[in-house]
Structure 1
């Protein structure tokens, strides 16, 4: 058995697909995107968005009366593009193509037009809509922001390996500087159709599938999906899709230097009056050390560090979806993270369940029973 054969074994994950199950990739995608580029939001209060952004560890690169760009320390595009709107909403995901020619190829294959982006971002794009109705923008040739001074990871004495002598550890209580955007998680009532769309149009490949207890024969209900850059390793997931009663943003994740930066940054956020949703812990699928927070508009955002990196040779793992299977260690998963805490969001999701069960989609009564079991498993 090779190292790749065992990469998914033991930690709540089975060896791989059974005969006839989803292969997790397509043979001839239209293009293969290289990475996630940025996320777009609309918010009525840009001052409040900027204040939280700074506390979370972003640096503003553009601020006008109607627009806010927030970046990490890595070179490249901003992580977030926030425009002023009447109400708060997630506006879409941008992915970075390898070249401008890929943007043209994707536009021609989908009957869309290539257009130039504003000078504040630069480059070209094609705007698409996935089967769940989410806006998907594929971009290339953006202005490249230079790197900013980054937070230096601490030097650790691990066991008997002494790398730090006559020097103390005193991580400052300050924002955990975001390095880059890592991934976004979206929920859809048309999970399988949406999954296949991303694999075919953007050339993404699945790292891990999850299925409901007793329903593996019906297929997966969640997938962690990465970019395919051949022998170049990429994040375990750049996009995650999950089946649910509504089409919505779930959370996004931003890399920081290490656990101490995350923990000290979390203390800083707490002291500023912001609310932790769940953490600190370590995930199973993806292995990331995580810490989840709610921004002032209720959006769930994650600091992460030490995530898995896979090349294209690794096939998808399969595991049962459970609440306990969300982490290897850490505090018990919260009702807030699961979206079942009493409040506006849970009421909206309950109403969505009624609507979804009436509509023609993949979220039916057996899937509802499977989802309800997850929260108590």
Structure 2
């Protein structure tokens, strides 16, 4: 049947051409809390423990961090942008992620969290400005909220290359030679967590910290059961924020998946990756460009096998952008780039992974069932 050329165009989706083809349907999760306790402004820093701070410092410098302070028991790392430290590593018996620390918009927000969540308010530590509230999310991850912490002034950054693109050249009589050097980290971007209590953890971050969902992912053919991954950003009203400051997905693990750090541009990502490769570090996946968030990405493993990401050119959304919905799949993780690796996805059936799965399926408060686990494995099979 030939379409009638006089017929009106079908109504365009509110998400068409924006960041996702589909928005929430009636009765689905709204992606934000109606009346959150507070609205955090950003991530402040991430907390880790590692047994070998010398080795951690060597990798940090090769990855592009600047060391802001080093003692026998602590390593503090920053980016070139003005702000707080990006990472705080304390000496510990094993390498592990401790938890994220978020920035409160106002000092009174800490009092609200103490009053409403029974949290403890404490000074940051001897010789350091600021106060912090210690919380624990439903997955058992320690979460800090800080206000008044010391900040650094900006440092000289990596120069963005002048690009000849299109009909208006900008670089004349000059060759392009990006230096082979670390990709200087500008700032902490986001952290990704895995949890078998996905819905409980999701609602906790929305209701407690005021984060809002940029995009939900759901298992193909199972949208009626709700999302299995969420990309959450800070609600700054009309001021744009990163597409996601925190991402989380359903799975048998509890805690850290990877963390991401902004660098200048694609050439910084690529040249910095060459620099890391020459020093014997392992790429986990990349280089490519994501779909949710649009970042150019490159993932590496540190000497303790934790995954860290260089990224550039990510999406920025204000609070007016509604939540998108899309099916979850391995191929849907990137617009272009090499196929996602099993090493990055962490799907190899190691004894530790099998124990993790067994424990998650048997837990009383788990949201992970055998059927959902099988569907997750199928969707994320590269």
Question: Which of 233, 241, 247 lines up with 1:234 in the alignment?
Answer: 241
Gaps in structure 2 of 5+ consecutive residues: 1-10
CA distance in 1, matches of 2:78, 2:209: 24
Q: Does 1:370 align with 2:380?
A: no
Question: Which of 316, 326, 338 lines up with 1:319 in the alignment?
Answer: 326
Q: Does 1:281 align with 2:288?
A: yes
Query: TM-score, length-normalised on structure 1?
Result: 0.96
Question: Which of 61, 75, 86 lines up with 1:54 in the alignment?
Answer: 61
Instruction: Give structure 1 regions of 4+ aligned residues with deviation exceeding 4 angstroms.
Output: 1-4
Question: Which of 7, 12, 16 lines up with 1:6 in the alignment?
Answer: 16
SS at match of 1:108: helix
CA distance in 2, matches of 1:4, 1:207: 14
SS at match of 1:307: coil
Q: For residues 243-285 of structure 1, what are the alpha-carbon distances to aligned partners after superposition, in whole Å with 9 as ceiling and x for unaligned?
A: 0012120000000000001100000000111000000000000
Deviation at 1:352, TM superposition (A): 1.1
CA distance in 1, matches of 2:90, 2:302: 16
2:221 corresponds in structure 1 to 214
2:6 corresponds in structure 1 to none
* Mapping of residues 323-342 of structure 1, within 5 Å: 323-341=330-348
Deviation at 1:226, TM superposition (A): 0.1
Question: Which of 175, 180, 191 lines up with 2:182 in the alignment?
Answer: 175
Retained in 1: the 8 A contact 2:15–2:324?
no
Larger radius of gyration: 2
Deviation at 1:122, TM superposition (A): 2.2
CA distance in 2, matches of 1:216, 1:204: 22
CA distance in 1, matches of 2:140, 2:192: 15
Deviation at 1:238, TM superposition (A): 0.2
Gaps in structure 1 of 5+ consecutive residues: none
SS at match of 1:123: strand
CA distance in 1, matches of 2:129, 2:337: 42
Question: Which of 80, 83, 87 lines up with 1:80 in the alignment?
Answer: 87
RMSD of aligned Cα (Å): 1.4
2:351 corresponds in structure 1 to 347
CA distance in 1, matches of 2:164, 2:348: 40
CA distance in 2, matches of 1:23, 1:229: 18
Q: Alignment length, in residue pairs?
A: 371
CA distance in 2, matches of 1:65, 1:126: 26
Retained in 1: the 8 A contact 2:85–2:151?
no
Deviation at 1:359, TM superposition (A): 1.9
Question: Which of 102, 109, 116 lines up with 1:102 in the alignment?
Answer: 109
Deviation at 1:14, TM superposition (A): 3.2
SS at match of 1:201: helix
Deviation at 1:8, TM superposition (A): 4.2
CA distance in 2, matches of 1:209, 1:316: 7
